Amino acid sequence: MPKVGIKITFHHLHAPFFARPKKIKALTINVKYFDTDVQYMIQLYQDITQLRVLSHFFNNPNEEFYLRELARLLKISPMTVKRALDDLVNDNLIIRQEKKNQILYQANMDSQAFKFAKISYNLAWLEKKKVVEYLLGKASGISSIILYGSYAKGENDKHSDLDLLLICTTKKIDFHQIEKKLGIEVNIINFMSTQWTKQAKTNRAFYLDIITEGIVLYGTRPVIE
């Protein structure tokens, strides 16, 4: 995966982590396909309020919210939330629409910038939860840990499973503890290197999805020559 050196300043997942933050930690995320415009967009959001508002839509990308509803959920004044929403709407990250004389706001899932920012947000959350460290302690001989599926594509919501592929020497991995740790369902598929080589031939669609859409969390991309 090529390095792009993007500075992401999300304070990780879920509203409680954003409760009156005093300091935002910058995190460098290496995500492919970022173009110059998207890089600029992500670096632009250094404002804590905008990050808090945007994070709410990352967590609830398919839901609509009223202005005062957002203000109540985030414990921020409606006027402050309104200013943040106006900026996010202007940048095409959030959609503003009127329904029955009421203004509703929703994530713009058609926006490439929103999806890439959401992917980086997902990665920041996985890092905070120390998912890679957990897996390294549970499996032996790991050469690759790949994030794939909705979390890798920035299409996940609160009902989505977390999909991970491991290339390792361990035949079976107990992932129930990590499900408790994350509070979501986790789908871990693990192969030994010889098995993965066979998958590249017998399950070509899955192999290509991993190689082209998966995000390397640890090790190398498991390309079969």
Q: Is residue 180 part of a domain?
A: yes
My answer on whether 148 and 95 are in the same domain is no
Q: What are 73-94's pLDDT values in tens digits?
A: 999 999 999 999 999 999 999 9
d(CA 25, CA 200): 39
Helix (H) or strand (E) holding 56: helix 48-59
Within 8 A by CB and 6+ apart from 41, the residues are 91, 93, 113, 117
pTM for the complete prediction? 0.77
* pLDDT beyond 90 at 161: yes
Domain boundary among 112, 147, 170: 112
How confident is the model at residue 49, as a pLDDT? 82
Q: Using 50, 70 and 90 to split pLDDT, how confident is the model at 2?
A: very low
How confident is the model at residue 100, as a pLDDT? 85
My answer on whether 182 and 208 are in the same domain is yes
Q: What are 177-219's pLDDT values in tens digits?
A: 889 889 999 999 999 999 999 999 999 999 999 999 999 999 9
How confident is the model at residue 47, as a pLDDT? 63
d(CA 145, CA 154): 18
My answer on whether 201 and 142 are in the same domain is yes
Contact 151, 163 (CB under 8 A): yes
My answer on whether 149 and 80 are in the same domain is no
* pLDDT beyond 70 at 113: yes
HEC letters along 170-200: CCCCCCHHHHHHHCCCEEEEEECHHHHHHHH
Q: What is the mean pLDDT of the chain?
A: 82
My answer on whether 76 and 139 are in the same domain is no
Q: What are 7-64's pLDDT values in tens digits?
A: 344 433 333 333 333 333 333 334 443 444 444 444 554 467 888 899 999 999 999 9
The CATH number given to whatever domain includes residue 68 is 1.10.10.10
* pLDDT beyond 90 at 155: yes
The CATH number given to whatever domain includes residue 164 is 3.30.460.10
Number of folded domains that form the chain: 2
Q: Is residue 152 part of a domain?
A: yes
